[in-house]
Amino acid sequence: MAKNNLALIPSEKIGLMQELVLRIKLILRLMGDRRVNFFLKLLPLASLAYLFSPVDLLSGVTLPIIGALDDAAVLWMGASLFVALCPEEVVQEHLDKLQKVIPATWREVPPKTEIIEAPSQKDKEQTH
């Protein structure tokens, strides 16, 4: 199971809307990835189908606020479970690409690096 791929509470570096957009992009990328099990991909689709389905656990007519909350809860649970059940390395790979993380190692610049400046086009024109 993936460990904390996307926090439930937005971090200080990223806002709520950016977190939502990131999560939607991640889910779309995972839906298109062949390494994710086909049956697992049915989870977000089923939660979307519930949203548009005429069958509702708590009717929005009788309990308007609670009716909307149960729809939101089903969408949230479907999305969260889908990401959590996807292979961790696949989720991390897509997150890195979405956040443009380039894996690299730090290395120091040698202390005696000489910088040679090339003449600019303007300098070349003045000498001719």
Sequence spans of domains, the chain: 16-127
Q: What is the Cα gyration radius of the chain?
A: 25
- Burial annotation 82-96 (CB, 10 A radius, 16+ → b, else e): bbeebbeebbeebbe
pLDDT digits (tens, 9 = 90+) for 49-65: 888 877 766 565 666 67
Give me the torsion for CA of 3, 69, 38, 103, rounded to 10°: -30
Using the predicted structure, report yes or no on whether residue 127 has a pLDDT greater than 70. Answer: no
- pLDDT for residue 8: 47
Give the least confident one: 32-36, 59-63, 82-86.
59-63
The whole-angstrom separation of Cα 19 and Cα 88 is: 19
> Which of the pair, 66 or 3, is modelled with greater confidence?
66
The amino acid at 101? V
Residue 13 in 3-state DSSP?
A: coil
Q: Give me 104's structure tokens.
A: 């690299």
pTM of the model: 0.61
Under the banding of pLDDT at 50, 70 and 90, the label for residue 16 is confident
The 10s digit of each residue's pLDDT in 87-99 is 999 999 999 899 8
Return mean pLDDT, the chain: 79
pLDDT given at position 60: 58
